[in-house]
Amino acid sequence: MSSKSFASDYFVTREAFRQAAGNAGSVLFDLPLNKYGPNGEKLTIDIAWLGSKQPSHVLLHLSGVHGVEGFVGSAIQCRVLSNPPPLPDDHALMFVHTVNPWGMAWIRRFNENNVDLNRNFIAEGEQYAGAPAGYAKLDPLLNPKHVPRALDLFLVRCVFSILRYGFANLKETIACGQYDYPQGLFFGGKQLEASSRLLSDWLREHLTCAERIAAIDIHSGLGKFGEAVLFVSGNHGLTEYSILKENYGEAVQPLSKEGVACSISGMFMEGLTHLFETRML
């Protein structure tokens, strides 16, 4: 994919996506978020629907759960829409453009409430509370009260923490998700966020007839530069994992601290599994 596929502005990518979707013959939907861009612009989650209007099988392709990472997802979506694949009569392909439009418009990973939407889907009956053991000790380092100064020895303290706790353990503690420090990193929120609820409600309404639903959630910034990784959550059994491994080889990795990622609480994909239960692949 060439650099021409990418843009540096949410509103440019949105227009490119909608144009590509229209050219591909998609049905377009826009879900308005009651938040605004840097210059007061309206923000929306945009959806392009290709294929059957009453599908038995659906593939969801999501971008921008982590707002600023939406530029990669948008570029992929526009490229596929420029030459969409043929679909069986009872299948549909749906592109969800920018689940976190506020984050993409403001060039942030989190949303307007400092919530990481990929930590925001807590199972029904569970509480938005808790943090990994050890997070409290790391919070002053991760969330300082002022911009780090030379005398704070910030980098030295980071190296010391890695040596003390081990990189894998430190990564798991920091990144798996926490619900007690609203100003901290990887904060999962205190309730289901507006954009998460907006998209969930739309999907619940429009995919009632689907018997099988699969989803691909595009992220960036993990692993080696320029290499794709297909992370598989714990929702998939050994048989499903083996099939993916057979087809996609070493690109397939589990979400665990032994790999380049880590196990995550409140994942967006978990939210989809809760939403569609046995229909979700």
CA dihedral 172, 175, 181, 184 (to 10 degrees): 130
User: What does the pLDDT read at residue 118?
Assistant: 94
Burial 218-256 (b: 16+ CB within 10 A, else e): bbeeeeeeeeebebbeeebeeeeeeeeeeeeeeebbebe
pLDDT attached to residue 278: 80
- Residue 223 tokens, joined: 């692993």
Residues 182-211: pLDDT tens digits?
999 999 999 999 999 999 999 999 999 999
pLDDT at position 226 over 90? no
In whole angstroms, give the CA distance from residue 94 to residue 104: 20
Angle at the Cα of 102 from the Cα atoms of 188 and 20, rounded to 5 degrees = 120
Of 220, 120, 102, whose CA–CA distance to 178 is shortest?
120
Model-level pTM greater than 0.85? Answer: yes
Query: Encoding tokens for residue 22?
Result: 């229209």
Long-range CB pairs of 40-43 (<8 Å, 24+ gap) are: 41/11, 41/105, 43/10, 43/101, 43/102, 43/105
- Predicted local confidence at residue 33, as pLDDT: 96
d(CA 151, CA 277): 52
CB 274 within 8 A of CB 124: yes
Which CATH number is correct for 3-124+187-222+261-279, 3.40.50.1390, 3.40.50.460, 3.60.20.10, 3.40.630.10? Answer: 3.40.630.10
Report how far apart the first and last C-alpha atoms of the chain are (Å, whole number).
Answer: 28
Question: Among 20-29, 112-121, 124-133, 179-188, which is the least confidently predicted range?
Answer: 124-133
pLDDT of 238 = 66
How do residues 59-102 score in pLDDT, each as one tens digit? 999 999 999 999 999 999 999 999 999 999 999 999 999 999 99
Q: Determine the Cα–Cα distance for residues 269 and 234; give it in Å rounded to an integer.
A: 10
User: Which tens digit of pLDDT belongs to each residue from 263-272?
Assistant: 788 889 888 9
Domain spans, the chain: 3-124+187-222+261-279, 135-175
Token pair recorded at residue 211: 């018997």
Structure tokens at 119: 């930590």
Answer with the residue of higher pLDDT: 174 or 152.
174
Q: What is the pLDDT of residue 179?
A: 96
Rg of the chain, C-alpha, whole Å = 19
The larger pLDDT score, comparing residue 211 to residue 281, is at 211
pLDDT, tens only, 227-256: 888 877 655 566 677 888 888 887 787 766
Average pLDDT over residues 3-18: 83
Residue 84 main-chain phi, psi, to 5 deg:
-65, 145
Average pLDDT along the chain? 88
Phi-psi region of 81 (alpha: psi -120 to 50; beta: other; left: phi over 0): alpha
What distance separates the 2 farthest-apart alpha carbons in the chain? Answer: 65
Does 175 have pLDDT greater than 80?
Answer: yes
